[in-house]
Chains A and B, each alone.
Chain A
Amino acid sequence: MTRRTRALRVVLLVLFGIFFLLPIYASALFSLRRPGGGHSMAAWTAIVSDDQLYPAVLVSLGLAFVSVVLMLLLLVPTMIWVRLRAPWARRLVEFLCLLPLTIPALVIVVGLKGVYAWVTYFLGFIGLGESALALTFIYVVLTLPYAYRALDTSLSAIDLQTLAEAARSLGAGWTATITRVVVPNIWSGMLSASFIAIAVVLGEYTIASLMGYQNLQVVIVLLGKTDGPTSVAASLATILLGFVLLLVLSLATRGRRRHVVGGAVR
């Protein structure tokens, strides 16, 4: 590399750095402001103490947890089964998993409103009529594209057929084969899928706000009208949490593969 290209690289990196880090740095400063002047951590402590914000934080964390569990329960056995016994369905499963990238969340909301009476009936039936946890069913759909790619990568990396045949020939049933033989081998893929799903759910605003539920992002927007520093602190916290999750993931899978999360359509 010539000296001129190296200088150009440094200049460009600095410019990009300023563009991307300035808003984050400004958010940090803004969140530390006190109304009268001076600094305080009040906005940050509000995340775990504010009457309106803290319950929403809990709702979003709960949603993230339930969505991850449901997503794994739905996707892992299906993807393993498709590879082992039903390869004819592979294209269809992939298509359905990646479909949410093409159908914007906004469209799903509009459609759900139309069949809402039916959905509330279903949710009331399983005892989730009023709870924001009802959102979990749609959030699982939103996480599918990312989760599918993460799981697909790690399933491709192992010799699934041989593992399953070995387990089966030693007398394991399908449940034991999946939970005790395959799952321990695709642990890293399940972890990536879960981390990305957490990031998706914690950042979700569109569906919650239009369906009238109060999750973290909805309350952040509500607070933005009255208490700027607190809403900026909470939104910075979600970005930082997402960043840490993905960085840990990338360092944990160091060298094994490139961690690339494909394009999203929000």
Chain B
Amino acid sequence: MAEAAAGRGRRAGARLREGAPLLPFFAYLVIFLVIPTVAVLVGSVYLDGSFSFGRIHELFSSTALAALWKSVLLSASTAVVGAVLGAVLAWLVASSPPTSVLRRMMLSLCSVLAQFGGVALAFAFVATVGSTGVLTLWVAHLGVDLAGSGWLYTLTGLVLVYTYFQIPLMVIVFLPALEGLKAQWREAAVSLGATGWQYWRQVAVPLLTPAFLGSMLLLFANAFAAYATAAALVSIGSPIVPLLIRQALTSEVVLGQSGFAYALALEMIVVVAVVMVAYTLLVRRTSRWLR
């Protein structure tokens, strides 16, 4: 008994020594990631020393529900369009020679547009189809008013700009699955008498479906949480959840909306977390054959 306890003690001591160099990393992440997240969770039900579901209740007000609905609409539509078009583009990339410079350029561009665009994409579209945009002025000669009634600064405009970064993101997350299709599988199918169409329909598509759906979920979460593009484009009103959070954050003193931002942030965590869990499950299914 005593020996076993001493053994446990020694093991615990070893763990402590092994774990000590990891402390700075864990401490850093606790301060700058875990505490802020926990603060949101706590703040949405507990503020100024009292516990209440009042703020959660506010999520079901008509403003909040309308914003949620538009966010879901925006995320879902751009996820579907982005996934379909992105899969086509990924197929074009996958069937090009792996070392070609054109392919590397396409992938680098995809990476930049998908992940680091933010504000820049909003301005690129203002410069293209805004009221004095380049394309707007070109087609104005043909008598077409492209800028219309400022649709670029509404939900319609967001759908267009979001699609612009969703397609490249789809290429980046879907390409590995597409490249995981082994040439032997195609050869096996063809040697058994399958046509190209039959191979795609009965072998490739069923294999790729989990990856495709998983990528679509990732695109949904990406659009749902995106803030910079929308914030740069829409300065009046708060049609979607991230912009409603901005409004709650910047006007909380004036309107006494204190804490509403917490509830909205909680809503965002819940939606994104649910989607990401589903994504993880689908990816696990894909990785079974993707080696």
Contacts and interface: CB of A to CB of B under 8 A. Distances in A.
Interface of A: 1, 9, 12-13, 16, 19-20, 22-27, 29-31, 74-75, 77-78, 81-82, 85-86, 88-89, 93, 96, 99-115, 122, 137-138, 140-141, 199-200, 202-206, 209-210, 217, 220-221, 224, 228, 231-232, 235-236, 238-239, 242-243, 246-247, 249-251, 254-255, 258-266
A88 B167 CA distance: 38
Interface string B70-98: 00000000000000010011001001001
Interface stretch (B59-67, B171-179, B181-189): B171-179
A16 B106 CA distance: 11
Nearest to B235: A225
B22 A26 contact: no
Given A206-B231, A265-B276, 7 more contacts: A13-B92, A24-B124, A96-B25, A109-B36, A141-B32, A205-B118, A221-B119
A77 B249 CA distance: 37
A93 B289 CA distance: 26
Interface in B250-282: 250, 261-262, 264-265, 268-269, 272-273, 276
A107 B37 contact: yes
Contacts, number: 268
B12 interface: no
A250 B37 contact: no
Contacts of A242: 111-112, 116
B237 interface: no
B128 A23 contact: yes
B175 A260 contact: yes
Contacts of A220: 119-120, 123
B272 A265 contact: yes
B39 A111 contact: yes
The 8 closest A-B pairs by CB, nearest first: A111-B36, A104-B225, A30-B127, A235-B120, A26-B134, A26-B128, A203-B116, A205-B228
B117 to A, nearest CB: 7
Given A13-B92, A23-B164, A251-B104, A264 B114 contact: yes
Given A93-B25, A243-B108, A260-B175, A235 B119 contact: yes
B39 A217 contact: no
B206 interface: no
Contacts of A138: 32
B139 to A, nearest CB: 12
Contact of B133 (A26, A85, A137, A265): A26
A6 B53 CA distance: 60
Contacts of B49: none
Contacts of B104: 247, 250-251
